[in-house]
Amino acid sequence: MRVVAGEAKGRPLKAVPGNGTRPTTDKVKEAIFSMIGPFFDGGVALDLFAGTGGLAIESLSRGAERAIFVDADAKSIEVIRANVKATGFEQQAEVYRNDAERALKVLAKRDTAFDLVFLDPPYRMKNGDELLLRMEASNLLQPGAVIVLEYESSYEYPEAFGSFNLRRKAVYGETAVSIYDWEPQKDAKAQEAAAEEDSEV
């Protein structure tokens, strides 16, 4: 694994020992960033099941200003810290050992909102949409935020939920990637339009 593009292009990334994590391959990573970027002009990223940290590190390399990495596994946290240091992004990174739900509660108290969210939970977990709705309810997203949700390709997430709307879905073998846009203003305008139509009937 390596950083695909940007400031740290070509830097190798450590993998987490054992079979507990499923790192996003360089090929899939390149495809993801071609869909959502490929480069950024600042912004804050959250990698909620960070594993090796490869996705948020890639976003930093491509211009994101800051990134928060969260993982519940101690080995992953060690690897993320090593990878952040190896790529030179220590000053722009915060790394926390916590599970996803508790991390969101902590982040909600910090008045932080994210422009870019990476969700790559273990395949046994099918609650990516629930976690995103929790982020929405906790004001953890900037208007226009982009979400990258990775999951088992045999599973289907809805095209729309809350103020999240599917921009694109791609399948790479056993891995599916759905890109969602969070558009609360559009959702509010649609509700207003619907209310006006109802009042005219």
> What's the pLDDT tens digit per position in 134-190?
999 999 999 999 999 999 999 999 999 999 999 999 999 999 999 999 998 654 455
Domains, the chain, ranges and CATH?
26-200 (3.40.50.150)
Q: What are phi and psi of 118, to 5 degrees?
A: -110, 125
What's this model's pTM, rounded to 2 decimal places?
0.89
> What's the pLDDT tens digit per position in 19-43?
666 778 888 999 999 999 899 999 9
